[in-house]
Structure 1
């Protein structure tokens, strides 16, 4: 079992290494007045990961996005090719204390903004679960992000959203496809369909019934046009105490 777990971890580390920003495969362009909580996590070279605003001064993203050296957050725009009204520096990175790699269920990080943002017609805070939630198999959810729309394709500057085609996959089916999968993860999309996320949407939210329930973490070997294994997300509900403590203290 330990060998299988190590092999499992290696697969996912390889899946995420060297990636820059995540792609939505077969998505639709998001309307301008939608998904106002989405954040572009950027380094000195531009967009590197997705994220989402959970309070006036914190954005949630994936812990493995720290490898991209995030420096600023862009909010309030779907088109990254245009000048952004709201750009905040990252002044604190709160990586989950038990994060050791993308496959261990703790691939989550909070980024503190240099100053608070106020909700407006272009920026909104998305709600988090108030407690553990039981997602139903085949429940329809949404995932969104910036980046490529197919392997080797050009960068897309507009936010691409998946609304109806990302379905929750049961833990039993997910473990059949991901031997050694640990608790604290959600599977949705990328299996039995050619729709889901690809390398680059890392850190973006999985949204079910208007609530951010997951964080984009990994898929299999970056095979995004015709994936053969479920896309995997961190289960936010498993980390509520940790998240809420940071939001309360405004410090890691």
Structure 2
């Protein structure tokens, strides 16, 4: 557990400015079973609250700012949230870094310990975490996915998992526009992109070359081209 917690703090959490990351904009439906690590983190009403991703049979990563939303369980192996054919597991414990204060200061990451181990199969799989030191390249294409809304003026979430490609943005560009950018934050979304102000549900992974290198926390619109997200 100690090693897992250390690795948790080595991930690259996403920044957020004013609005929480809520959904995939100008993305497309993810192919069935193409992202078996994706998790819907839900409340006691069975409503999707945040995204997450499975890292072991009994641990899920998500965003710390989702922790105050009455989370009770996770749903796995379900591409379409309206379908009942899925695994539903209660959350046993929420672990948030002591140095997390709010989304704007980084460390927006949360480890969910499940009450029991999930059954792995073709629809439910873990995703590999990166090594402690990882160097993403400018314009490297990665993916984020989620069940959030698909329009900025529409609060209705989608039932089917959506995915969109995002490009890694040069860190120096982000630092110039955001001088207080936390050191462990990666910017992604692309330059002059129209692919939404949020590239995925909060807590969903930023996946580059098969590795979950970060998670979605928030976006920053000012000074950037419209719809550029920070991840």
TM above 0.5, yes or no, is: yes
Deviation of 1:15 after TM superposition, in Å, equals 2.2
Secondary structure in structure 2 of the residue aligned to 1:42: strand
Distance of 1:207 and 1:216 partners within structure 2 = 11
Deviation of 1:35 after TM superposition, in Å, equals 0.5
Distance of 1:50 and 1:104 partners within structure 2 = 20
TM-score (norm 1): 0.79
The higher-RCO structure (CA 8 Å, 6+ apart) is 2
Distance of 1:58 and 1:49 partners within structure 2 = 15
Counterpart of 1:91 in structure 2 is 92
TM-score (norm 2): 0.86
Deviation of 1:13 after TM superposition, in Å, equals 6.3
Distance of 2:59 and 2:148 partners within structure 1 = 23
- TM-align CA RMSD: 2.2
Segments of 5+ residues of structure 2 without an aligned counterpart are: 1-14
Counterpart of 2:51 in structure 1 is 50
Counterpart of 1:138 in structure 2 is 139
Whose helix proportion is higher, 1 or 2?
1
- Give yes or no for the alignment of 1:228 onto 2:230: no
Distance of 1:231 and 1:47 partners within structure 2 = 22
Distance of 1:76 and 1:197 partners within structure 2 = 27
Counterpart of 2:157 in structure 1 is 155
Secondary structure in structure 2 of the residue aligned to 1:81: coil
Whose strand proportion is higher, 1 or 2?
1
CA contact (8 A) 1:218 1:232 kept: yes
Deviation of 1:231 after TM superposition, in Å, equals 1.9
CA contact (8 A) 2:54 2:60 kept: yes
Deviation of 1:120 after TM superposition, in Å, equals 0.2
CA contact (8 A) 1:190 1:197 kept: no
Secondary structure in structure 2 of the residue aligned to 1:157: coil
Secondary structure in structure 2 of the residue aligned to 1:176: helix
Structure 1 residues 6-57: Cα deviation after superposition (integer angstroms, max 9, x where no partner): xxxxx946423xxxx8210111101112000000000124000000000000
CA contact (8 A) 1:22 1:50 kept: no
Deviation of 1:152 after TM superposition, in Å, equals 2.6
- Give yes or no for the alignment of 1:215 onto 2:215: yes
Structure 1 residues 80-139: Cα deviation after superposition (integer angstroms, max 9, x where no partner): 111142000011000111100112220000001111013201100000012211100000
CA contact (8 A) 1:37 1:53 kept: yes
CA contact (8 A) 1:162 1:196 kept: no
- Give yes or no for the alignment of 1:121 onto 2:122: yes
Total equivalences in the alignment: 214
Distance verdict in 2 for CA 1:199–1:214, change over 3 Å: closer
Distance of 2:62 and 2:225 partners within structure 1 = 23
Deviation of 1:180 after TM superposition, in Å, equals 1.4
